[in-house]
Amino acid sequence: MPVRCLSRAGLRARLIAAFLLIASMPSAFADPGDFQRGAALIAENSFASLEEGVALVAASGDPKARQLLLALQGSDLYLLKSDRTLVIAAKGTDGYDLTDPLTGEPAGTAASKRELKRIRINNRLRSQLSAAIAGLDLSHQDPAIRLSGVNEMLANLDDDGLKLLRERIQVETDTEVREAMTTAIALGDLDSTDPEVRLRSLDVLQGNLHPAVRGAIRRLIETDADPEVLKSAQRVKDSIEFKLELYSLAETLFFGLSLGSVLVLAAIGLAITFGVMGVINMAHGELIMLGAYTTYLVQQLMPGHIGLALLLAIPAAFMVSGAVGILIERGVIRFLYGRPLETLLATFGISLILQQLVRTLISPQNVPVANPEWMSGSWQINSVLSLTMNRMVIIAFCLIVFSALYLVMRKTALGLQVRAVSQNRAMARAMGVRSARVDALTFGLGSGIAGVAGVALSQLTNVGPNLGQTYIIDSFMVVVFGGVGNLWGTLVAGMSLGVVNKILEPWAGAVLAKILVLVFIILFIQKRPRGLFPQKGRAAEG
């Protein structure tokens, strides 16, 4: 038998009273029968019965109430045409998968939408549903859901919502949720007719970066006539804008460091080969590309283990690019030492061969390389600053690679021999160092690091045959600017150029920013031809 519908004011009063009861008392005080009666009213599928049904479901305290209301809000609540049973429908492999909202259990499938009748809502119901769901969220056990409920209420705050928040904040235990509630209450109090209340609210909102707060402060400055309130509002607005500028600078620095870490990874292998052997290796970019394609192939072999595949791709890319680098050195470069122009032309030809090889064996188009779950998403610091996880991981990865390479160069016999050959090749030979072997291993080490850089780049950009060409010029700029053969110089130069690029981009544009950086490096090299950290030794002196 249909339940008599209440007036709109009665519905809102009942809804807010129920939320206050749920917020302040144990759930045992709620009436479980309200959930069944509310669902029956929703199944009648008229706007009047829907309004009262939503109020009863929200007031019931039933743990399944939120799921039912979310389904109604998302247009996923239906009636079976055969027997007018209330169901939640979701697109499945064979038609639509049905769930009973009263029990939460599966209720079979529907072959097509012709078997279902959607329960439609209007704008008035949408507003009621938003308030009802937010109210349920405020009493949820999960603090994250309670915080989401407060943020939802901030977008459409009214007297009933404020009353609910004032009641709920008395029993809230989570600090972050309490702060959000305090912000929402202060935001609502900005509409108070008492100037003292508005001034107290402005003190609470000082420095708050929530978009709703910024909008409310702007409106208050435009409409308020009280001089003290206007002065305080302007002070709050200035403090917010100052913090926005600081966080904007922090975001620019973060993106600059992430770009710098990419430049360091791309250039650090070149710093070794160029610094030790004086070889202008134009195929260095293609060695980076091989590392990226190795990541793609490893993921193809392990389709269900993206994260593990990425970790295994690091040593695999090092070995593949390192092996190709040794072949290049033994097969071509060893015959061209002392002839830099011919070395440049030969390695440029090798780069074209490697690009065509990839196009022929794999694909001429870009290939997809997936990000693992732990590199997806972002770390949301506040409403205006979030740091993407993949770039944070790349920055950390760059520092790890740099540290590992630095230890190899400083703490191993190979590193000692590399430094000896780079500083004075003739003296190293006289001391028994096999310079030909050192050259091959050094070139292989630098090429392997380039492959590892390709693994990192595969997580940030498209993987295609032309990937290496994007970074070869930047790599040479970093090496020359930092000091040929100096690892610390490569790190400082790469990070510096990345940050400068990102600082210049907002007002100069990406292309002009690169041109300005290039002009700066040219002028810098005129004054310091050996870079920021010049290499020491007799060979360097000459």
CATH, residue 391: 1.10.3470
Measured CA to CA, the distance from residue 285 to residue 11 in angstroms comes to 68
In a domain, 234, yes or no: no
In a domain, 21, yes or no: yes
Whether residues 18 and 124 fall in one domain: yes
pTM of full prediction above 0.85: no
Of 225, 255, 287, the one marking the end of a domain is: 225
Whether residues 165 and 300 fall in one domain: no
Whether residues 351 and 450 fall in one domain: yes
Q: What is the CA radius of gyration of the chain?
A: 33
φ, ψ for residue 368, nearest 5 deg: -85, 130
Of 131, 150, 174, the one marking the end of a domain is: 131
φ, ψ for residue 89, nearest 5 deg: -115, 135
Whether residues 207 and 60 fall in one domain: no
In a domain, 1, yes or no: no
Of 131, 151, 183, the one marking the end of a domain is: 131
Whether residues 356 and 502 fall in one domain: yes
Whether residues 185 and 259 fall in one domain: no
Whether residues 91 and 213 fall in one domain: no
In a domain, 191, yes or no: yes
Whether residues 360 and 401 fall in one domain: yes
Whether residues 428 and 295 fall in one domain: yes
In a domain, 88, yes or no: yes
In a domain, 231, yes or no: no
Q: Which residues contact 88 (CB under 8 A, 6 or more apart)?
A: 67, 68, 71, 76, 77, 78, 98, 99, 100, 101
φ, ψ for residue 518, nearest 5 deg: -60, -45
Chunked into runs of 10 residues, the chain (542 residues) has average pLDDT values of 45 48 42 79 86 83 83 88 87 84 85 86 82 77 82 74 82 86 87 87 86 86 85 90 89 90 87 75 90 92 86 93 91 82 87 91 87 84 84 91 88 80 72 77 88 90 85 84 80 89 81 82 79 58 44
In a domain, 312, yes or no: yes
C-beta pairs of 369-377 under 8 Å, 24+ apart in sequence: 369/292, 369/295, 369/296, 369/299, 369/458, 369/459, 369/463, 370/299, 370/306, 371/306, 371/459, 372/306, 372/307, 372/310, 373/306, 373/307, 374/307, 375/310, 375/459
Six token digits for residue 412: 């191993």
Domain extent at residue 321: 246-537
Look at residues 300, 455, 331 and name the one whose alpha carbon lies nearest to residue 390. 455
42 with 65: CB under 8 angstroms? no
In a domain, 286, yes or no: yes
Determine the pLDDT at residue 324. Answer: 93
Whether residues 432 and 518 fall in one domain: yes
Whether residues 340 and 437 fall in one domain: yes
Whether residues 214 and 275 fall in one domain: no
The three-point CA angle 293-297-299 to 5° equals 115
The number of folded domains in the chain is 3
Six token digits for residue 324: 């190709």
